Structure 1
């Protein structure tokens, strides 16, 4: 009984301590196919509080950029904004797209509608739920970290 109490207390203490999630495995430049072209994600090193910033750019079949995204990932989830190739914003100045935290685990970031999962040291799979004209589907992207 004493061990059960200690274990429960220890686990509750860890949860209450607000430990900083470790997103460092995302750091670097990742590329992969998607949306009829290629895309690239670049993730910063985490700050002291674990926050990361990043950017995405999509290249069409002809190699030109078709759109960008810039984001912040922290302990609450991800906030991002989209931009056209001419850098005009999709969202208004006050708006952004939000993916709320569901769960963080080693090598895995699960957000509402978006999941990043490390499958090997330089491989990850991104799953993105998208709804268009009332139809929801999940797009899966296989990414490789560039050295």
Structure 2
């Protein structure tokens, strides 16, 4: 009985620790609009992957919120991302492209990495594989599901307003 209780508690703890999610097959994104995620707007800086990570988000305009990201390691840009959260009919989608430090693209010319909206809460925005969480006015957490060689790991980017 103690073993079953331990396993049950262990599984509940694992479930609570997960911050990123995926839509179920056939499940559609809920309604959402850019004003519901406008709290992401700002210039944010933190540490990740052994370096300095930085994101700059614009306020909503033209049915989108654009952003740029860069990771600095040993004083040099490791890579960039450029993207947006955009209004897509009655829902939102986040899309991005990656670039090496020399601006050569990772994805093919017409390919984007897309993250469909899963759920919106007052201070949280859940997209497939990425979650934004407002800690307070000057701090946000971004949880990203990173996949590499068939393995996946949830990575926390803790940002402070810069």
Give the match's secondary structure for 1:91.
coil
TM-score by length of 2: 0.74
- Give the alignment's TM-score, normalised by structure 1: 0.81
Deviation sequence 1:63-103 (CA, Å, 0-9, x none)? 21111000010232200000001100000111111111101
Structure 2 gap ranges (5+): 1-29
**RCO higher in 1 or 2 (8 Å CA, sep ≥ 6)?**
2
Over the residues paired in the alignment, what is the CA RMSD in angstroms? 1.8
Distance 1:100 1:79 in 2: 9
Q: Matches of 1:103 and 1:94 in 2, distance apart?
A: 27
Shift of residue 105, structure 1, vs aligned partner = 2.0
After superposition, the Cα gap between the structure-2 partners of 1:104 and 1:18, relative to the gap in structure 1 and judged at 3 Å, is closer
Consecutive unaligned residues in structure 1, runs of 5 or more:
1-15
Structure 1 residues 30 and 18, CA, compared in 2 at 3 Å: closer, same or farther? closer
Describe how 1:30-109 pairs up with structure 2 within 5 A.
Answer: 30-47=44-61, 49=63, 51-60=64-73, 62-74=74-86, 75-109=91-125
CA–CA distance in structure 2, aligned partners of residues 17 and 69 of structure 1: 26
How many pairs are equivalent? Answer: 129
